Amino acid sequence: MATRAIQDPQLERDPAALLPRMPRLGLDPLLTLATIGLAVASLVTLDGLSHSQMVRQALFLGVGFLVMLVISRFDYSRLRELKWGLYLILLAAILVVLGVGHSLGGSTRSIGVSAFSFQGSEVGKVLLIVFLAAFVVDSSRRTSSRQLVSRVILLSLLPAMLVIAEPDLGSALVYIVVAFAVLYIAGVEAKYLAAVFALGVAALALVLVVGPMVGFHTVQAERLTAFLDPGSVPASKISNEIYQQKESLIAIGAGQKFGLGAAAAHTEINFVPLNSTDLIFAALAERFGFAGAAVVLSLYALMVWRTLRIVAAAKNLFGALIAAGVVTMLLFQVFINVGVAVDILPVTGVTLPLLSYGGSSVLTTFLALGLLQSIHAQARIAAGTKGRVLSI
């Protein structure tokens, strides 16, 4: 391909060149199965909470699935050339939300676009993954590891700082973790990664501990305090989120082995006001018990396993890095979201991929899944042209 591109640059800009070169493209069946399974789990759980939300979520999931199918048919490799454009779109999306966004639950995270409000920071996750992967691929042979690490970290800190200002600590953490994962998979030496890790811990401490001391945004610090020392927060100061975490724990416990089914009322009526978004796992676990929660976690594990395979089998470093970023994003969001619901982590405000109600989150996840399917498909094509067959 590279040879052809040099020979005929126009060809790459021809939309026809982006079309698949094989008439039949297989999706990764197990990844697709996990996707459909999680989508069904989302709808079944939401139906117990709010029928109207379930209907809208079905629409989001359907549109998302189509988006995934479409993306999977394009060769992701072309996105490399658009990396700075993607980065600008990422910054613009966050800035527009910051500038004109309306406040939802105390944070400015979305802008109203007619019927459906759009969260720039959600879609930004995928944009950042693609950008970082492209940046690393393009720079890896020209720069030293030290320079590469510092540039990647700076380039992801910029959008991270912007979304912290919204304030959306959850998305910011995703940005940082994703950058870390891309560098790790790109093969950067461990000592640099250790330095970045130390820097990250220090930055987090700055935001959570030093920030409140100098009067900077105390939402996160309050959440942390409430998590570490629940008794220290007076009843009147307990925020909705912290209250919800406690209620979530009760609801999950009440679910027991097989769930309360239709009798699950704790999460249904306003005990957990954000139950359909950040705390949908509590609703799921109350309704379907340990069994249901375990099935859903297994579907996520399946998704992660298939994605790791895609990382390993990608036809080029760009694909491997995108897949690595996506798998890290998925794993991180699942662990943080469920960790909050089961009270082993402080409230952070991260959605549960595919399960949480909301168009932005669903669309973002399907964008990522579409890229994964594309990487998988392209790997099969590449293997096929070499006369090799990829197993599933």
Comparing CB distances to another protein, the nearer of 320 and 367 is 320
Comparing CB distances to another protein, the nearer of 68 and 254 is 254
Considering the complex, what minimum distance in angstroms separates the CB of residue 192 from another protein? Answer: 14
The total number of residues written for the chain in this structure: 392
Considering the complex, what minimum distance in angstroms separates the CB of residue 162 from another protein? Answer: 27
Task: List phi, psi (to 5°) of 104.
Answer: -125, 115
Distance, in Å, from the CA atom of 213 to the CA atom of 160, rounded to the nearest integer, reads 21
Considering the complex, what minimum distance in angstroms separates the CB of residue 302 from another protein? Answer: 11
Nearest to residue 154, comparing CAs of 185, 131, 186?
A: 131
Distance, in Å, from the CA atom of 133 to the CA atom of 328, rounded to the nearest integer, reads 13
Calculate the alpha carbon distances from 168 to 177, 183, 202, 252 in Å. Answer: 15, 23, 19, 26
Comparing CB distances to another protein, the nearer of 77 and 363 is 77
Distance, in Å, from the CA atom of 120 to the CA atom of 102, rounded to the nearest integer, reads 12
Considering the complex, what minimum distance in angstroms separates the CB of residue 130 from another protein? Answer: 18
Comparing CB distances to another protein, the nearer of 203 and 250 is 250
Comparing CB distances to another protein, the nearer of 206 and 265 is 265
Considering the complex, what minimum distance in angstroms separates the CB of residue 4 from another protein? Answer: 15
Give contact residues for another protein (rule: CB under 8 A).
Answer: 137, 140-141, 181, 184-187, 235-236, 240, 247, 249-257, 265-266, 268-271, 273, 285, 289-290, 293-294, 297, 300-301, 304-305, 308, 311-313, 315-317, 320, 324, 327-328, 331, 334-335, 338-339, 342, 344, 383, 388-392
Q: What is the DSSP string of 238-280?
A: --HHHHHHHHHHHHHHHHTTT--GGG--TTTTTSSTTTTTTTH
Considering the complex, what minimum distance in angstroms separates the CB of residue 13 from another protein? Answer: 24
Comparing CB distances to another protein, the nearer of 322 and 338 is 338
| 3-class secondary-structure state, position 355 | coil
Distance, in Å, from the CA atom of 150 to the CA atom of 238, rounded to the nearest integer, reads 39
Which regions of the chain does DSSP assign to beta strands (E)?
Answer: 102-104, 107-113, 116-118
